[in-house]
Amino acid sequence: MYRVCFKKPEPGGIMVSRRNKCILTALLLLMLVPVTGSAQTTPTFNFPRITLGVDPARSPGEVATSLQVLLLLTVLSLAPAFIIMMTGFIRIAIVFFFTRMALATQQMPSNQVLMGLALFLTVFVMAPTIKEVNKNALQPFLKKKINAEQLYLRGVKPIRTFMFKQTRQKDLALFMHLAKEKRPKTRADIPTHVLIPSFIISEMTTAFYIGILIFIPFIIIDMVVASTLMSMGMIMLPPVMVSLPFKIIVFFLVDGWNLLISKLVHGFVA
Q: pLDDT tens across 213-264, in order?
A: 888 888 888 888 788 777 777 777 776 777 788 888 888 888 888 888 888 8
> Rounded to the nearest 10 degrees, how much is the dihedral formed by the CA atoms of 160, 162, 167, 173?
20
Mean pLDDT of 186-199: 86
What is the pLDDT, as a whole number, of residue 156?
85
Say whether pLDDT at 21 is over 50: yes
Q: Structure pTM? A: 0.67
Rounded Cα–Cα distance for residues 256 and 151 (Å) = 42
Number of Cβ atoms within 10 Å of the Cβ of 172: 21
Say whether pLDDT at 4 is over 70: no
DSSP 68-132: HHHHHHHHHHHHHHHHHHSSTHHHHHHHHHHHHHHHT-TTSS-HHHHHHHHHHHHHHHHHHHHHH
Rounded Cα–Cα distance for residues 71 and 204 (Å) = 30
What is the pLDDT, as a whole number, of residue 13?
45
What is the pLDDT, as a whole number, of residue 201?
92
What is the pLDDT, as a whole number, of residue 208?
92
DSSP 235: -
What is the pLDDT, as a whole number, of residue 202?
92
What is the pLDDT, as a whole number, of residue 35?
46
Mean pLDDT of 1-27: 52
Phi, psi of 143 (to 5 degrees): -85, 5
Say whether pLDDT at 32 is over 60: no
What is the percentage of the chain residues whose pLDDT exceeds 70? 73
What is the pLDDT, as a whole number, of residue 149?
79
User: What average pLDDT does the structure give for the chain?
Assistant: 76
Report which of residues 49 and 148 the model is more confident about. 148
Q: What is the pLDDT of residues 178-187, one digit of tens each?
A: 888 888 888 8
Q: What is the pLDDT of residues 124-145, one digit of tens each?
A: 888 888 888 888 888 887 888 8
Q: What is the pLDDT of residues 65-103, one digit of tens each?
A: 666 677 777 777 777 777 788 888 889 989 998 888 888
Cα-to-chain-centroid distance, residue 66: 26
What is the pLDDT, as a whole number, of residue 48?
58
Cα separations in angstroms, 21 against 7, 8, 206: 12, 15, 91
Rounded Cα–Cα distance for residues 89 and 162 (Å) = 13
What is the pLDDT, as a whole number, of residue 1?
42
Report which of residues 107 and 160 the model is more confident about. 160
